[in-house]
Structure 1
Amino acid sequence: MITWFRALTQTWFAKILFLLLVASFAIWGIEDTVRNFGRETAVVSMEGGDIEVPEAQMAARRELQRIQSQLGTGFEAEEPLRRAIAMQAVEQLIAERAQRAEAARLNLATPDEAVQAYVFSIPNFQTAGQFDRLILDQWLRQNDMTEAQFLRLVRDDLQRIQLSGAVRAGAPAPDLLARALVRYEQERRVAQVVELPLLDAPEPEPPTEAQLARYHENNPERFSTPALREATVAVLTAETLADQIEVSEADIAAAYEARRSQFETPERRDLQQALLQTEAAARQIAEAWRANPDFAAIQQQVEAAGGAALALGNVPRADLPIEALAQAAFAAPEGGVTDPVQSPFGWHVMRVAGITPATTSTLAEVSDRLRQDLALERAGDLAFERANRLEDALAGGATLEAAAREYGLTVTRVTLDAEGRDAEGLPVVLPVPVAARAEAIRAIFAAEQGRAPRLQELREAEGFMGIELHAVRPPALRPLAEVEADVRLAWINDQKRRAQEEKAAALLAAVRGGQTLEAAAAAAGLTSARMGPFGRQPEAGAPGLTVPRELLPVLFNIRVNEPTMVPTAAGFAVAQLLEVVSADPAADPTALENAKRSAQQQMADDLNAAYVAALRARAEPRISPTLLQQVVP
């Protein structure tokens, strides 16, 4: 038998079978590679390294988090904005790759010592002026980033600084440009101004009924109802179900024991600290401090000894990152001074200026709060369960109102505009928490008429809302009888505006005909004023502050003696430029230096942007539109 097997292994059939087995095991071992063979996996293919989807997704999520932190928790990015954020994150990665490739081409190197020094110098990672590793670790967790990824980013940033520094260094601002900027910014002007506010216009003759009717018809947008939507709204939140939850005293007691740490306030101590470089100097300070508790005097002695002293404030033990310091500070009595304690930063001497004892709230004190918290927690679970059952009922053909009433949702029928007001302009009551009102109104105006109602999550209220849209009412012109008072007031204001506009136009025509504005105004019985000199953006209290803001840009774009006329918030204004007061750059060296620095900064920014764009073009990035959709956060 063995001889037969040996003979069989020498045949072509056995050799082919053996090769197939080897190939199958090899493919099984590199399954992902084989499965993705021939498939596109990089959202960007470019010189300097492809950008894979996970890396781009992480960058997009970080960018979205950054924007949300700036705009607040109430900010909700819509789909178009999320796509723009994804594209921005990808473009940033492309720029980083292109600059990294250029740094490699130029053989730029960033030693580990430089990376470490840069990280240690970041203020956000420091405590009392010293690098704090705990803060860095917390920051890495918050940003979903490993230490290796962070150090790679720092190294890339330092290399980009080297590249951009070389480019930006070639952007000196010529003195001619700086002087021109100073002359532009400090130029001042003088003008004759006539203001024609609507309040000074004469009262027109009362309108006839025909005039009112015609004005009403010709201005429908001013006297129409807003676009309204009529919908049934059903809301299910933990708050609405909390009253239905029974919480026993035993449950409250158990929750108190489980959450006891929440009701305990740790002891806090008002600490003052002196930090010195030698033990001998620290012991001298400790003895002096015990003899004289005056912190100001101790600060002077510490600084004379080459150290530093500062008040740490009222802190709990957990805020002291070094255990030896915490142990010494919280073992000393009130008013006591610790013996010197050594740390990597030097020798510490601490004084306990005051003690705030630890406190513990009793079960009786927090019973009501615990009862409410437990009810809300259980109501949240109940809300989720009822939401699932209501979804099943809606899928079975039930109406939103009937299903909502069966499962205990708050139901109401509303008619409102996009601002949450009814046809009379009064706020409509919605059965949602105040924080979720804007979200609910947006959802109502995003609903489609005729579509089956579905529950959707209320992000601002931790609940659910169902919407059934019944009607969409376009704007409709209100009957004249309902808005006659508004129409009459608007007609009178328009007549006053027209009268003041005619006066302003007559003044403008007179000045263009050869008169001065002062003379033309006097002839028309109007008051004019010489204003200025004023700048392009006059500061509070400066001459020319009374120049209407609508006039300023126009007055800095016309010639001397040229008139102009502009509508203002109050009515109309007519002006004639009388004088241009030029600035002397040599008379203000500080302004000249600031202008030169600003111009140089702008030129350096432009040069660097052009350089980065050139590197991007040379890297020839190819973005996959299909995979880019997966990057949208």
Structure 2
Amino acid sequence: MLTALRRLASTWVAKLLFIVLIASFGVWGIGDTIRNFGRDNAVARVGGAPIEIEEAQAAIRREMQRLSRQLGAQFENDPRIRRAVAQQAIEQLVLDRVLRQEANRLGIAVPDSAVRDFIFSIQGFRGMTGQFDRAVFENFLRSNDLTEAGFLALVRADLARQQLAVAVRAGAAAPETLARPLLQWQQEQRGAAIVSLPLSAAPEPPAPEEAQLRRFHENNPDRFSTPEYREASVAVLSADRISREVEISDADLAAAYEARRSQYETPERRRLAQVLVQDEDKAKEIAASWSGGADFAAVTQATEAAGGQALELGLLDRAGLPFPQLAEAAFAAPDGGVTAPVKSDFGWHVLKVEAIEPGAARPLAEVRDQLRQDLQSEKAADLAFERANQVEDALAGGATLAEVAQRFNLGFATLRTDANGMDPEGKAVELPVIEAARAPLLRAVFTTERGAAPRLSETEAGFVAVDVKEVTPPALRPFESVEPQVREAFIAEAKRRSQEERAAGLLAAVKGGKSLAEAAQEAGLGIREIGAITREQRGDPAVPPELLAPLFELKLKEPTMAQTREGYAVAQLLEVTKPEVDAAAIGRIRGEVAQAMAGDLEIEYMAALRAQADVRVNPRLVDSLAQP
């Protein structure tokens, strides 16, 4: 027997069986490694460089904290918002990587002195003396979950990005051949004849017969049916409710105020215009001319003749200028003043201060109550997740909604309601949420299946559990019980059809060759002639807003018809006036268009860089990061 076994073991079949057996034990021992083979643990990769989970988590956490501080009690930490924040934070990390790679490729360097000067210029890092305060800076780092090295790296990358952006934006220019027709288009005026046909002026239709009303009742069941009603119990765990349990000390308030000082300070802003040329002597000539009273149109012409560019920069604070030397010059000049030429990597800049908005700071005493509410909301949001887990465990253990509501201090109600929150008597039902959260809670009630075991789920109203006891479907009300409403709706619909037919008749008559005035006179209707209508017409009751856009699409003498809030209106275009534009207006529109073009160029540039950078995002990990 043993001899036969030894002979069998030496065959190729036995050897193959041993190999399979060894491989199966090997896979069993390293199953996790095998299953994860080929999976990428980076949230995204840019040109092969990973964005790790920890970095993405920190970015998402910072963005959530920023939104919570900014919105306070209005901030709802629901799944949709978390997913949107996660996607936005990761996309920002991707773009930062893309721009860093491009800056490295171009050899753009940001010296330590530029990083230091930029940080020292941030108003939010200044203490009571007006100078950079190390304690305030460290509070900022702690509250935003940042290390000093990490923050310096972010600033350095942002300054490099600004250099790239300024270079791209500097190529934007709006020629007069574009600005002039655009300005004329904006300021174009039109005159029209308008006939209004309000429903209130419609002739009274013949009294309807009962058979007509009954058919109208049957053909419009949505108008005359009872809504669906649901009888349900609801329990709500919201940050607003928990915040009432949170105590905030004066020390907590003082520390939070110092960490968030920048939120309560409005930096000084200045409306600036800029000239950028490559030659210092030309810059000095332009600065002297500008200081001497030359208008922006003349300065623009001189700048373009020198091969440069003139732009309206708009309202900016110090941080809005890409170079510290530009900020120092611009914010040292008086209102209406022109700076001496300032050198940067892009050439020679000359800036004019067109207006000044002074900065302001709100003291702790002024913001104490709001800050206390914000801190309570933030701490309550953290407590809500812990308590939600406890509530979910209790429900899974068989506790009723009423029991968990009492045990964990949840909002609780038993109700019978329609989807709009009204009971069968037409009164608003009481819900255990604030007014802004009524609609999300009602959606939860009407999307829960009848008889389903109550489970806590996160909604815009907070954590909600619903137990639907009964569903009463819609039913057509008996004709006798709604006859007055049916009669009223029937007459209103008859009047609407009547005015629509009259408006269509006027439109057909004008298209047939008559003027609107002639057609209106034949129909016994009044007419108004209105001139100087612009595209930006606002609040003029003589021109129904529904007619405004169609009027600017018509050719001369063409008619149009529109349904308005009051009924119907018919109009005929009578005149088109092209305005005369002056040099100053053209200069302003050129600046506006150039800024818009610069923004578009920057967006397209970044999109092109992203497309070339081999960006790969791991959707599985993005989804997991969006979870609480």
CA gap of 1:406–1:114, structure 2 versus 1, over 3 A, is: closer
Report the secondary structure of 1:211's partner residue: helix
CA offset at residue 428 of structure 1? 0.8
CA offset at residue 465 of structure 1? 6.4
Q: Structure 1, residues 176-209: CA drift from partner, whole Å, max 9, x if none?
A: 1111210110001000011111111122222211
Q: Structure 1, residues 125-171: CA drift from partner, whole Å, max 9, x if none?
A: 34575444444333322222222222211111110111111111112
CA gap of 1:563–1:71, structure 2 versus 1, over 3 A, is: farther
Does the alignment pair 1:116 with 2:94? no
Q: Which amino acid aligns with 1:226?
A: P
Partner Cα separation in structure 1 for residue 100 and residue 388 of structure 2: 54
Number of paired residues?
471
CA offset at residue 620 of structure 1? 0.3
Q: Which amino acid aligns with 1:616?
A: R
Residue 533 (structure 1) aligns with: 532
Partner Cα separation in structure 2 for residue 608 and residue 261 of structure 1: 45
Q: Which amino acid aligns with 1:41?
A: N
CA offset at residue 39 of structure 1? 5.7
Residue 583 (structure 2) aligns with: 589
CA gap of 1:175–1:414, structure 2 versus 1, over 3 A, is: same
Partner Cα separation in structure 1 for residue 221 and residue 420 of structure 2: 20
Q: Structure 1, residues 378-406: CA drift from partner, whole Å, max 9, x if none?
A: xxx9xx999969965x5565665688799
CA offset at residue 436 of structure 1? 6.1
Q: Which amino acid aligns with 1:600?
A: A
Does the alignment pair 1:546 with 2:542? yes
Report the secondary structure of 1:89's partner residue: helix
Partner Cα separation in structure 2 for residue 140 and residue 175 of structure 1: 48
CA offset at residue 36 of structure 1? 9.5
Q: Which amino acid aligns with 2:598?
A: A
Partner Cα separation in structure 1 for residue 83 and residue 409 of structure 2: 39
Report the secondary structure of 2:168's partner residue: helix
Partner Cα separation in structure 2 for residue 83 and residue 136 of structure 1: 30
Partner Cα separation in structure 1 for residue 224 and residue 493 of structure 2: 15
Q: Which amino acid aligns with 1:547?
A: V
CA gap of 1:58–1:238, structure 2 versus 1, over 3 A, is: closer
Does the alignment pair 1:59 with 2:59? yes
Which of 580, 595, 604 is 2:598 aligned to? 604
Q: Which amino acid aligns with 2:98?
A: A
CA gap of 1:102–1:209, structure 2 versus 1, over 3 A, is: same
The question of whether the paired residues in 1 share the 8 Å contact of 2:507 and 2:559 is answered with yes
The question of whether the paired residues in 1 share the 8 Å contact of 2:86 and 2:625 is answered with yes
Q: Structure 1, residues 27-67: CA drift from partner, whole Å, max 9, x if none?
A: xxxxxx9x999763211122273111111122223334444
Partner Cα separation in structure 2 for residue 590 and residue 489 of structure 1: 58
TM-score in terms of structure 2 length: 0.65
The question of whether the paired residues in 1 share the 8 Å contact of 2:79 and 2:459 is answered with no
Report the secondary structure of 2:454's partner residue: coil
Stretch deviating more after TM superposition (101-110 or 119-128): 119-128
Residue 574 (structure 1) aligns with: 570
The question of whether the paired residues in 1 share the 8 Å contact of 2:229 and 2:471 is answered with yes
Residue 149 (structure 2) aligns with: 148
The question of whether the paired residues in 1 share the 8 Å contact of 2:179 and 2:590 is answered with yes
Residue 74 (structure 2) aligns with: 74
Residue 183 (structure 1) aligns with: 184
Which of 535, 557, 564 is 2:553 aligned to? 557
Stretch deviating more after TM superposition (492-501 or 229-238): 229-238
Residue 515 (structure 1) aligns with: 514
Residue 92 (structure 2) aligns with: 92
Partner Cα separation in structure 1 for residue 52 and residue 612 of structure 2: 20
Residue 263 (structure 2) aligns with: none
The question of whether the paired residues in 1 share the 8 Å contact of 2:76 and 2:460 is answered with no
CA gap of 1:190–1:410, structure 2 versus 1, over 3 A, is: closer
- Structure 1: state its 5+ residue gaps: 1-32, 242-255, 263-309, 320-380
Q: Which amino acid aligns with 1:85?
A: V
CA gap of 1:49–1:180, structure 2 versus 1, over 3 A, is: same
The question of whether the paired residues in 1 share the 8 Å contact of 2:79 and 2:458 is answered with no
Equivalent runs, 1:94-493 vs 2, <5 Å: 94-126=94-126, 130-233=131-234, 392=394, 395=396, 397=398, 400=401, 412-431=413-432, 437=438, 440-454=441-455, 466-493=465-492
The question of whether the paired residues in 1 share the 8 Å contact of 2:411 and 2:433 is answered with no
CA gap of 1:124–1:313, structure 2 versus 1, over 3 A, is: closer
TM-score in terms of structure 1 length: 0.65
Q: Which amino acid aligns with 2:574?
A: L
Partner Cα separation in structure 1 for residue 535 and residue 69 of structure 2: 35
Partner Cα separation in structure 1 for residue 617 and residue 121 of structure 2: 37
Partner Cα separation in structure 2 for residue 231 and residue 165 of structure 1: 59
Partner Cα separation in structure 2 for residue 512 and residue 207 of structure 1: 34
Residue 273 (structure 1) aligns with: none
Q: Structure 1, residues 521-550: CA drift from partner, whole Å, max 9, x if none?
A: 12211110110111011255xxx6521111
The question of whether the paired residues in 1 share the 8 Å contact of 2:391 and 2:456 is answered with no
CA offset at residue 122 of structure 1? 2.4
CA offset at residue 568 of structure 1? 0.3
CA gap of 1:514–1:237, structure 2 versus 1, over 3 A, is: closer
The question of whether the paired residues in 2 share the 8 Å contact of 1:551 and 1:566 is answered with yes
Report the secondary structure of 2:475's partner residue: coil
Partner Cα separation in structure 2 for residue 606 and residue 137 of structure 1: 37
Larger Rg: 1
CA gap of 1:175–1:403, structure 2 versus 1, over 3 A, is: closer
Q: Which amino acid aligns with 1:175?
A: E
The question of whether the paired residues in 2 share the 8 Å contact of 1:196 and 1:572 is answered with yes
Residue 45 (structure 1) aligns with: 45
- Structure 2: state its 5+ residue gaps: 1-32, 253-357, 368-382
Q: Which amino acid aligns with 2:626?
A: V
Q: Structure 1, residues 295-322: CA drift from partner, whole Å, max 9, x if none?
A: xxxxxxxxxxxxxxx9x999899x9xxx
CA gap of 1:231–1:63, structure 2 versus 1, over 3 A, is: same
The question of whether the paired residues in 2 share the 8 Å contact of 1:48 and 1:97 is answered with no
The question of whether the paired residues in 2 share the 8 Å contact of 1:234 and 1:410 is answered with yes
Partner Cα separation in structure 2 for residue 429 and residue 49 of structure 1: 55
Residue 619 (structure 2) aligns with: 625
Partner Cα separation in structure 1 for residue 133 and residue 144 of structure 2: 17
Q: Which amino acid aligns with 1:447?
A: T
Q: Which amino acid aligns with 1:493?
A: A
The question of whether the paired residues in 1 share the 8 Å contact of 2:229 and 2:418 is answered with yes
Q: Which amino acid aligns with 1:62?
A: R
Report the secondary structure of 2:546's partner residue: coil
The question of whether the paired residues in 2 share the 8 Å contact of 1:115 and 1:155 is answered with yes
The question of whether the paired residues in 2 share the 8 Å contact of 1:226 and 1:475 is answered with yes
Q: Which amino acid aligns with 1:508?
A: L
Q: Which amino acid aligns with 2:452?
A: R
Q: Which amino acid aligns with 1:483?
A: V
What is the Cα-based RMSD across aligned positions, in Å?
A: 4.3
CA gap of 1:313–1:579, structure 2 versus 1, over 3 A, is: closer
Q: Structure 1, residues 549-593: CA drift from partner, whole Å, max 9, x if none?
A: 1111000001010011111000110100000001223xx333312
Residue 608 (structure 2) aligns with: 614
Report the secondary structure of 1:514's partner residue: coil
The question of whether the paired residues in 1 share the 8 Å contact of 2:78 and 2:458 is answered with no
CA gap of 1:71–1:477, structure 2 versus 1, over 3 A, is: farther
